[in-house]
Amino acid sequence: MKEEQIEKLRGVVRDCVGKHLYSSAIFFADKVAAITSDPADIYMQAQALYLGRHYRRAFHLLNASQIVLRDLRFRYLAAKCLEELKEWDQCLSMLGPAKVDEQGNITDTKDYGSMYLDKDGEDREIKILSAIYFLRGKAYEALENRVQARLWYKAAIKADPLCYEALECLIEGHMLTCEEETSLLSTLQFSPEDGWLSSFYSCLVKKYDKEYVVEAKFRELEQEHTLKNNTDLLACKAEYYHQCGEYQKCFELTSILLEKDPFHLKCTLVHLAAAMELGHSNELYLMACNLVKDYPQKALSWFAVGCYYYCIKKYDQSRRYFSKATSLDGTFAPAWIGYGNAYAAQEEGDQAMSAYRTASRLFPGCHLPTLYIGMEYMRTHSFKLAEQFFLQAKTICPSDPLVYNELGTVAYHMEEYKEAVLWFEKTLARIPSSVSEMWEPTVVNLAHALRKLKRYNEAIVYYEKALALSTRSSSTYAGLAYTYHLQDDFTSAITYYHKALWLKPDEQFCTEMLNLALEDECRHGADIEFESHQR
């Protein structure tokens, strides 16, 4: 057969692959490979078999060729076949020996200096070594060796920053702490034309910076790089709003996004979280029904069902569905945390702790399981243990204000009021946006701690700030009244005791203190009258 005819057949194979006619591609690729015995044509045939889901046949063809151990593309495709067959140990064996250090640098690559057929193509493609490192990471993760998986994912993204999947696995799997994520991004070697990608990656990682810093990053991508309506970017922005506690803003943005792209699963997860916080049980019900219908094998679908039952306070059912989500995907962090929270909501501390400990082990870069373990210890008044876990959570994520709030609360319970004031002040300093109603309890607790230290004027300032955020808290009015009472300002104390009792008429403390304040004012008035008569 003439060379022109062979080249035409190669074109037919490529066209069949492009049109997803894999049986046709396999048929013609087999004939081309038989005629030429060219390694490139054998590779094309193996690729057609792989795309047609004939994994065993593709692996046999590659393994039988003399070039499989000398050409990285052959080796990689053979390993991909073994990945699909779930033969993970053989997959790693096919990729050859290699070692990686803690920073994701390869220390032993003697087998990777082998021939590679299309070296010119490397300028236009993701580097083959990056893909190989990523596949190693997937194999180790499937074998539940998440430590090695993390190192190989880091190696993959460092070998080629265009290997987005490696970064996605590190972020979604919570494999890195905040500090490690930032450090990794700073080591990536982006080409000059990939400046937008560097900015985009910085938006994907944990976002606890001040609002103006994060908003500036989003604005740069929207305006300078014309990604204003990009769904991935808007999903990142929604995630940031959720982290800031701006749940309504987050929910509105995810609702718009899901109208545009109803099957964007990352946005769906953020939407579910926002709906949970806002108590939108109807929305959760509809989302859960649609997800179970469209994706019955995805953990996210059953997580959504669990969220619905959690929202309507049916914790036994919610636990069942969170558990189902973890059995479908053991690396789905929200399901593990939801599972623990469902136990904690019924004060079943041991089971909640067990779920949180599993999550903490699986997701070393996520501080929430450690934080929740601390909260469980605080609920049982084990304050020293609680403090240890809060400090551990602070090490993992030193910029989340919620961690500092819990440290302040535990210090207050241990009657370390100076420490409590410092932690509460750090909490308010780390809130990314303006202080919202979500942080009203922190402001009140700071006022309580200041009152305990007899810094009454400062306490009054913070009680008033708390009332500006929410006027529905009887404990804030009671705290303010008691502070005025301690300052012998009985008139103001009586006014605020009345306001507290109007919100909560059966509050015993306020009832007793109001009677005392009235007696004190009468006595004080009588003393003043007596003194005036004496003069």
Instruction: Identify the three-state secondary structure at position 520.
Output: helix
Place of tokens 């300078």: 224
In this prediction, residues 143-151 reach a mean pLDDT of 95
Burial status of residue 441 (CB atoms within 10 A of its CB: 0-12, 13-18, 19 or more): middle
In this prediction, residues 488-514 reach a mean pLDDT of 91
Is residue 489 over pLDDT 80?
Answer: yes
Task: Encode pLDDT of 46-62 as tens digits.
Answer: 999 999 999 999 999 99
The predicted pLDDT at position 120 comes to: 45
Separation between Cα atoms, residue 430 and residue 440, nearest integer Å: 15
Is residue 113 over pLDDT 70?
Answer: no
Separation between Cα atoms, residue 497 and residue 494, nearest integer Å: 5
Higher pLDDT, 97 or 213: 97
pTM above 0.75, yes or no: yes
In this prediction, residues 481-493 reach a mean pLDDT of 92
Place of tokens 């210090």: 411
C-beta separation of 390 from 403 below 8 A: yes
The predicted pLDDT at position 115 comes to: 53
534 pLDDT tier (thresholds 50, 70, 90)? low
Separation between Cα atoms, residue 101 and residue 86, nearest integer Å: 26
In this prediction, residues 231-249 reach a mean pLDDT of 90
Q: Whole-number mean pLDDT of the chain?
A: 91
114 pLDDT tier (thresholds 50, 70, 90)? low
Separation between Cα atoms, residue 209 and residue 423, nearest integer Å: 18
Task: Encode pLDDT of 399-457 as tens digits.
Answer: 889 999 999 999 999 999 999 999 999 999 988 877 888 899 999 999 999 999 999 99
Is residue 112 over pLDDT 80?
Answer: no
Task: Encode pLDDT of 290-303 as tens digits.
Answer: 999 999 999 999 99
Written as six digits, the tokens of 290 are 């649609």
Q: Give the Cα-Cα-Cα angle 398, 402, 407 (nearest 5 degrees).
A: 80
Task: Encode pLDDT of 183-224 as tens digits.
Answer: 999 999 998 888 899 999 998 887 677 777 788 888 888 888
> Long-range contacts made by residues 113-121, C-beta under 8 angstroms, separation at least 24?
114/69, 114/70, 114/71, 114/72, 115/70, 115/71, 116/71, 116/72, 116/73, 117/39, 117/40, 117/43, 117/71, 117/73, 118/73
Closest CA to 144 of 358, 336, 323: 358
The predicted pLDDT at position 145 comes to: 95
Task: Encode pLDDT of 421-431 as tens digits.
Answer: 999 999 999 88
Closest CA to 322 of 375, 274, 364, 358: 358
The predicted pLDDT at position 68 comes to: 82
- Comparing 108-117, 225-234, 280-289, 333-342, the range with the smallest average pLDDT is 108-117
Determine what percent of the chain is predicted with pLDDT higher than 70.
95
Burial status of residue 162 (CB atoms within 10 A of its CB: 0-12, 13-18, 19 or more): middle
